Structure 1
Amino acid sequence: MRSIKSLILILILSFSSLNLEASKTEVKVGMYIIPPFYSRTDQVASGILVDLIKYLNENQNKFQFKIVETSPRRRYRDLENGIYDIIFFENSIWGWSNRNIKLNETKVFATGKDYYIAKKDPRLKNQQVIFANLREKVILLKSGFHYGFLKFKSYDVKDKNLIYTNSLEGNIKNILRGKGDITVINDSFLKMYLKTHPKDKDKLVVSEKIDQVHNFKVLARPNSPISIDEIEKLFPLLKNSTYLREVLHLK
Structure 2
Amino acid sequence: MRKAITNLIIILLIFANTGWCAETVKVGLIIFPPFIEQERGRDKYTGIAVELIGLMNSFQGRYRFVTVTTSAPRKQRDFENGLYDMMMFDDINWGWKGYPVEASQVILRGDGEVYVALAKEERGEDYFSDFRNKKMIGHIGYHYKFAGFNSDPGYLKKTFSMQLTYDHGSSVRMILRERGDIAVMTRAYLFRYMSEHPETESKLLISKKNGPGI
- Pairwise same-fold verdict (TM > 0.5): yes
CA distance in 2, matches of 1:44, 1:83: 18
Aligned pairs (5 A) from 1:94-133 = 94-97=94-97, 100-112=98-110, 113-121=112-120, 123-124=121-122, 127-133=124-130
Identity among equivalent positions (%) equals 33
The equivalent of 1:193 in structure 2 is 193
The equivalent of 2:212 in structure 1 is 213
Gaps of 5+ in 1: 1-23, 215-251
Aligned pairs (5 A) from 1:2-17 = none
AA partner of residue 116 (structure 1): Y
The equivalent of 2:141 in structure 1 is 144
More strand by share: 1
The equivalent of 1:78 in structure 2 is 78
Change in CA separation of 1:178 and 1:49 when aligned onto 2, cut-off 3 Å: same
Gaps of 5+ in 2: 1-21
Q: Deviations over 1:13-39 (max 9, x none)?
A: xxxxxxxxxxx9211100122221222
Instruction: Answer yes or no: is the 8 Å Cα contact 1:135–1:161 preserved in 2.
Output: no
Pair member with larger Rg: 1
Aligned pairs (5 A) from 1:39-58 = 39-41=37-39, 42-58=42-58
CA distance in 2, matches of 1:96, 1:132: 27
**Deviation of 1:108 (Å):** 1.6
Count residues with an aligned counterpart. 186
SS in 2 for 1:169: helix
TM-score computed with the length of structure 1 as normaliser: 0.69
CA distance in 1, matches of 2:101, 2:74: 16
SS in 1 for 2:88: strand
AA partner of residue 130 (structure 1): Y
CA distance in 2, matches of 1:90, 1:31: 10
TM-score computed with the length of structure 2 as normaliser: 0.80
Instruction: Answer yes or no: is the 8 Å Cα contact 1:28–1:84 preserved in 2.
Output: yes
SS in 2 for 1:183: strand
Bigger CA drift: 126-135 or 162-171? 126-135
Instruction: Answer yes or no: is the 8 Å Cα contact 1:111–1:213 preserved in 2.
Output: no
Instruction: Answer yes or no: is the 8 Å Cα contact 1:25–1:63 preserved in 2.
Output: yes
AA partner of residue 128 (structure 2): F
CA distance in 2, matches of 1:127, 1:160: 20
Give 4+ residue runs of structure 1 displaced > 6 Å after superposition. none
CA distance in 2, matches of 1:150, 1:185: 15
More helix by share: 1
